[in-house]
Structure 1
Amino acid sequence: MMLVGGQSVAEFLSSVLPAPGNSRLEDEFQRPLVTLTFAQSLDGKIAGKEGKQLILSGRESMLMTHWMRTKHDAILVGIGRHIPEDERPSHLPRPVILDANLRLRPDCKLLKNYRERKGRRPWVICDANLTSDGGRKAALEDAGARVIGVPSVDGFIMIPDLLKVLYNFGIKTLMVEGGATIIDSFLAEPARTKPNIIIVTIAPTLIGDNGVGYGKKLSATQIPSLKHIRTEVMGRDVVIVSALE
C-alpha cells in the first residue's frame, strides 16, 4: 500500500478525518460530519469548459481519494458530476445526488449499476415541492432511486435542511465532492453547517480561461477562516488538509 510520510494511506486518513461520535455538531445540530474534498489545477480550476469533469489527480492522490470514500457513509455530488467506479478497497458509500429539479436520467449508469447489483441504491435529493411530481419521481424510483425532498430557495437546496435529513436517515459521515456550485454552497454556510475538514488536491497542471473555478460567489463575509492541519506530497500532487476555525 502506498506510504504517505511513512504512513499507510489508511493511517494518513485516520490522522486527519474526524471520528464520528466525538463532535458537538453531531449532537447539538443533528448533522453528519462533513469532509469537503476536490482536486484543482495550479490556476484554481476544478473543471473544464462548461463544467466538463476533468481527471486532475495523479495515481497516488486518486488512490487516497478512493480510500477516503470508504471512510464515509455517503458521497454527495451535483447532478452533473460522475461518481467514479474504479477500485474501492472496502466499504461502499451511499451515492447521494443533489438534483433540485429532478433532471437525473432513469437510464443513467449509477442506476444501472444498482439494478445490476454493482453498487448501492442512489439517493436523489430534490426540491421538496417536486416530490408530488408523479412522473419524474416515479420514473426515478422505478429505476431504483430513492427520491428525497428537501426545501430549496431560488432553485438551491438548503444545506442545513439537507444535512439534517441525511443525519435522520442514518448518514453520520458525508464526503462532498462538488462541483463548483456545491463547493461554494458549503463554504458559504454558517459555522454550524460548514464542512469539518477540507481536503484539496493540487495538481501540477494549468487549465486556462475555459476552466471552471470556485469561490467567485462567496462574499468577503462568507470566506471561512481555515486552520492548516497537514500538507503531503503524493506522487506529482500536493494534498492540503485544513479545518474550519
Structure 2
Amino acid sequence: MAHSPAEQRAMARALELAMRGPRSRNPRVGAVVLSPAGEVLAEGWHRGAGTPHAEVDALSSLPDGAARGATVVVTLEPCNHTGRTGPCVEALIRAGVARVVYALDDPGEVSGGGAARLRAAGIDVEGGILADRALALVGAWVTAARLGRPHVTVKWAQSLDGRAAAADGSSRWITGPEARSDVHARRAEADAIVVGTGTVLADDPALTAREGEKLRAEQPVPVIVGARETPADAAVRSHPHPPLFYDTHDLAFVLDDLWDRGLHRVFVEGGPTLASAFLAAGLADRVLAYVAPVLLGGPRLAVGDIGVPSIDRARRLRVIERVPLGADLLFVAEPEHPAGDPPPRDIGDRAPVSAGPPRRT
C-alpha cells in the first residue's frame, strides 16, 4: 500500500517535531497520529533520555481507545526493546492502531525489529517515507549508533617530508590560505573539535570555524583533553560554546561522554600527540592530511608512535579523495579495515558512563 498525501504531510510535520527534541545519545524523533480519514489526532516527540518516545508521547495525549484504527506516522522505526522506557511496539499494539508509517529503520541490534513485530501483530507497516529528509536530520546519530561512539575525523597539516613544525616548534603556516579555508569549512560540519592541552598552551587556538574574519553560523563545541590547566585568558574560553575539559587520557571515556551529549561528529585537530593517540587506539574513522610542498626536516613529526612495530603491521588506509588546494594537496583517507564496524549495540536510553562527569568550566 503506497503512502497517502496525508501521510506524507504528517511525516513532514513529524520531522519538524523531531527538531524540538534535545541532541543526545538517543535520536531526535517525531510522531503524528492520523485518524482513518487522515485528520491529525495527536502529535509528539522524544524529549530526552528516560522520557516517553515520540509515538508514546503522541498517544498519551489521546483518551483511551481514541487511537483504535488510527495511523501512526513516525520518523524512526518504533523500538522493540526495554530501556528506561518500554517498547514502543507494545504501546502501539495496545492502542489498537491499524497502520504505522516510518522513515528510517532503527539500526540497533536490540532496539531494531519493531516493524516485523508490528506486522506479526496484524498491523500494516510501511517504511522509507521521506527517508532522505529523515537521514539528513539523524544521519550523524545513525553513524554513531553503528560505531557505538561518535564518528572521528583526525586532521593534521604537514610538510612534504612529514613534519608538523620546524625544529624550533614554529608551525604557522605550513599550508596556504586555500587549505586553511577548507579546514574551517570542515570544522563547521563537526559537532565537536578536540585538541590536547599541549596545543592550547603552545598555540592558543580559538577553535572556531570562520569564513574569512567572520564566524560561521555553525560552530563545533571545543573540547580540551589533558591534565594541564587552560589559562583563564585563553582564546578558547571566548568560544561561542563553553569548552568541555577532560582531565583524562582515556579517549574512550571522552568519546562516550561526547556521545551522551549528542556530539556525534568529532574533529580531532590537537597536534601530533593527540592525533597519534587516536590513531594508535584505532579510533580514527577518517584522516585528513593536508600536505604542503615545503621541506622542514628535524624532529617535529606530524604523527608519532601509533603502535606499528614493523611494516607488516602498518595501518593501511584507502584514499577516497585527493583535493588540490592552491599549492597544497589534501588526502582524505579511511581505514582499509574499519575498526569501528562492529554489530550495532543497543543504543537507546542508555545510562551515562559511571566514570563520572568531565570537568567543565
TM-score (norm 1): 0.69
Structure-2 residue corresponding to 1:20: 140
Mapped pair 1:225 → 2:316? yes
Please state whether the residue corresponding to 2:262 is helix, strand or coil: coil
> Are the aligned partners of 1:50 and 1:212 in contact in 2 as well (CA < 8 Å)?
no
Q: State the partner residue of 2:151.
A: 33
1:73 corresponds in structure 2 to 191
Write out per-residue CA displacement over residues 51-94 of structure 1, whole angstroms, 9 at most, x where no aligned residue: 44432121111111110000000100111322455534330110
Residue 218 of structure 1, CA deviation: 2.9
C-alpha distance after superposition, 1:173-221 (max 9, x if no partner): 000012111111111114xxx2111111001111121534323353237
Q: Percent identity?
A: 27
**Matched pairs, number:** 187
CA drift of 1:170 comes to 1.4
- Are the equivalent residues in 1 in contact too, given 2:163–2:299 (CA < 8 A)? no
Structure 1 distance, partners of 2:314, 2:251, is 16
CA distance in 2, matches of 1:213, 1:35: 15
- Alignment-derived partner of residue 98 in structure 1: 225
Q: Is the 8 A contact 2:175 2:328 kept in 1?
A: yes
- Aligned twin of 2:325: 234
Q: Which runs of 4+ in 1 moved over 6 A?
A: none
Distance 2:314 2:266 in 1: 21
> What letter matches 1:162 in structure 2?
V
Task: Quote the Cα distance in structure 2 between the aligned partners of 1:72 and 1:163.
Answer: 14
Q: 292, 300, 322: which one pairs with 1:203?
A: 292
Larger relative contact order, structure 1 or 2 (CA cutoff 8 Å, min sep 6):
1
Alpha-carbon distance between aligned partners in 2 of 1:49 and 1:79, rounded to the nearest angstrom: 20
SS in 1 for 2:324: strand
Amino acid at match of 1:173: R
How many angstroms does 1:103 deviate by?
2.1
Q: What is the Cα-based RMSD across aligned positions, in Å?
A: 2.1
Runs of at least 5 residues in structure 1 that lack an aligned partner in the other structure:
1-18, 128-156
The answer to whether the Cα contact below 8 Å between 1:78 and 1:179 also exists between their aligned partners in 2 is yes
CA distance in 1, matches of 2:307, 2:296: 22
The reply on whether 1:64 has 2:185 as its aligned counterpart is: no
Larger CA deviation: 41-50 vs 79-88: 79-88
Number of the residue aligned with 1:186: 278
2:158 and 2:290 in contact (8 A); partners too = yes
Secondary structure of the residue aligned to 1:120 is: coil
Distance 1:28 1:67 in 2: 25
SS of the counterpart of 2:247? strand
Deviation string for 1:1-22 (max 9, x for gaps)? xxxxxxxxxxxxxxxxxx5144
Q: What SS does structure 2 have at the residue aligned with 1:171?
A: coil
Match of 2:344 in 1: none
The residue that corresponds to 1:215 in the other structure is 304
Q: Which moved more, 1:102-111 or 1:33-42?
A: 102-111
**Residue 107 (structure 1) aligns with:** 233
Structure 1 pair 49–83 and aligned structure 2 pair: CA distance change class (3 A): farther
C-alpha separation in 2, matches of 1:69 and 1:80: 20
Change (3 A) 1:29 1:210: closer
Does structure 2 conserve the Cα–Cα contact (< 8 Å) formed by 1:77 and 1:83? Answer: no
1:166-181 paired onto structure 2 within 5 Å: 166-181=258-273
Structure 1 SS opposite 2:223: strand
Structure 2 stretches lacking a partner, 5+ long: 1-138, 200-204, 337-361
Contact (CA 8 Å) 2:166, 2:298: kept in 1 or not? no
Distance in structure 2 (CA, Å) of the matches to 1:74 and 1:241: 19
SS at match of 1:231: strand
- Assess, with a 3 A threshold, how the Cα gap between structure 1 residues 50 and 170 changes in structure 2: closer, same or farther: farther
2:249 paired with 1:123:
no
Relative to 1, partners in 2 of residues 1:173 and 1:84: Cα closer, same or farther, differing over 3 Å?
A: closer
Structure 1 or 2, whichever has the larger Rg, is: 2
Instruction: Note closer, same or farther for the CA distance 1:212–1:227 as it changes in structure 2 (3 Å cut).
Output: closer
